[in-house]
Amino acid sequence: MDNDKYEIDVPRAILYAGDKGKANPLYHILDNLLGPDMVRFDEELTTALEPQARHLTDTEHQIYKRGKKIRPVMLLLSARLIRGEEELSHKIIKASASLEMLHVATLIHDDIIDDALLRRGLSSVNAKRGTNAAILVGDLQFVQAIRTFVDAVETNSEMGLVKMVLDTAFNICTGELDELETDPNWNLVALRQRYFDVIERKTAIMFGLACETGMSLAKSHTGEARRLGFYGRRVGRAFQIMDDLFDFLQDEKDSGKQVGIDLVRRRVTLPIIYAMEELGAAHPVSSIIRGEMQPPDDLRNEIRAIKSTQAIERSYADARHEALDALEYLKHFPKNRYRDALEEIALYTVDRKI
């Protein structure tokens, strides 16, 4: 493989499914900024997966291959923000592979919780191998992610990063539990607050971890690393809100999952909360979410009703606010092409065609 160019082994039409609007900056970043780093990332990820080889099937390997790799990309960009063109240390590459494994573990567990049949356009692990095997495979990814990250630590000062990774895994799990235990009959103000609490722990915290870890392992000052972690968290919030919007705006071919699945699963997302506020308690959308009626096989009327409200616009405004807030945290750092790339990622998160 040419080390000057990162060659993606999955067609971009699959890897970046649904990105039909503004040009995806990840193309440029992967090809021109992080090519050699991503080659090393792939090699490290392959090494980290080897101990599990006899327990993994093509289903799990496809989850890794079809991922956008946005979290490791943000970790590597964060390290290069202060390291520039220097070769990145092996521990930074290890950390990026660890982060991707941690992310895949959460995806596998998410699909178990949701009883989801599709993941990235293919059968989910639980659909292919059953719930019991999927739980264990997901746990394997969690454990191997931590083992890989521990191997990246070389100094006493870096031991704090191990605790940060463990804290992140803990928060992801508690966020998932809180989402499961959310009562749709709460008032809408409480539901909105719970939604933001949950996405902070389920999604935003891992984006923050990526950025803070990348800078810390690149030997930045603690304050700088934390500042970039705040940037990452805000991008993560925007990312999750947009993902919840796409549940109603993308078709199954683009999103890789059933349209309106959040409504079917009675998952109280931001656009659903805003729609319930406008449609009222007696509307079928509210009745489905509150468990007063079963979702119909054909959700077109309910999805059309949600789109007829200001729910999409209001949710998008919230996502854009988070993305623009993220940019404020980047202003502290000297302007270079890696800062530009982080800015592009934040904006692209909310500039994708919806």
Per-residue pLDDT reduced to its tens digit, 95-126 = 999 999 999 999 999 888 888 777 766 888 89
198's tokens:
């949950």
Question: Bridge-partner residues for 119, per DSSP?
Answer: 122
Query: Residue 122: in which H helix or E strand, if any?
Result: strand 122-123
Q: What is the DSSP string of 141-190?
A: HHHHHHHHHHHH--SGGGHHHHHHHHHHHHHHHHHHHHHHT--TTS-HHH
In sequence order, which residues have a C-beta less than 8 Å from that of residue 317 and are 6 or more positions away?
A: none
What number of residues does the chain have? 354
* Locus of tokens 């093509």: 58
- Let me know: does 217 contact 93? Beta carbons within 8 Å: no
Please give the class, per CATH, of domain 12-351: mainly alpha
- The pLDDT profile of the chain, 354 residues, written as one tens digit per residue, is 344 444 444 433 333 434 444 578 888 899 899 999 999 999 999 999 999 999 999 999 999 998 889 999 999 999 999 999 999 999 999 999 999 999 999 999 988 888 877 776 688 889 889 999 999 999 999 999 999 999 888 777 778 888 999 999 999 999 999 999 999 999 999 999 999 999 999 999 999 999 999 999 998 788 899 999 999 999 999 999 999 999 898 765 555 556 788 898 899 999 999 999 999 999 999 999 999 999 998 889 999 999 999 999 999 999 999 999 999 999 999 999 999 999 999 999 999 766
Instruction: Report how far apart, in Å, the C-alpha atoms of 225 and of each of 78, 211, 218, 231, 322 are.
Output: 9, 7, 10, 10, 19
18's tokens:
């649904």
Instruction: Report how far apart, in Å, the C-alpha atoms of 93 and of each of 15, 77, 151, 227, 234 are.
Output: 21, 11, 11, 21, 24
3 state DSSP class of 258: coil
3 state DSSP class of 242: helix
- Let me know: does 288 contact 302? Beta carbons within 8 Å: yes
Cα 53–chain centre separation: 25
How far, in Å, CA of 289 to CA of 79, rounded?
43
Burial class from Cβ neighbours inside 10 Å (0-12, 13-18, 19+) for residue 290 reads: middle
Region for 30 from its dihedrals, namely left if φ exceeds 0, alpha if ψ lies in -120 to 50, beta otherwise: alpha
- Let me know: does 52 contact 71? Beta carbons within 8 Å: no
How far, in Å, CA of 200 to CA of 211, rounded?
15
Domain ranges for the chain, please list them.
12-351
3 state DSSP class of 87: coil
Question: Bridge-partner residues for 123, per DSSP?
Answer: 118
- Let me know: does 248 contact 285? Beta carbons within 8 Å: no
- Let me know: does 275 contact 130? Beta carbons within 8 Å: no
Question: Bridge-partner residues for 118, per DSSP?
Answer: 123
* Amino acid present at 281: A
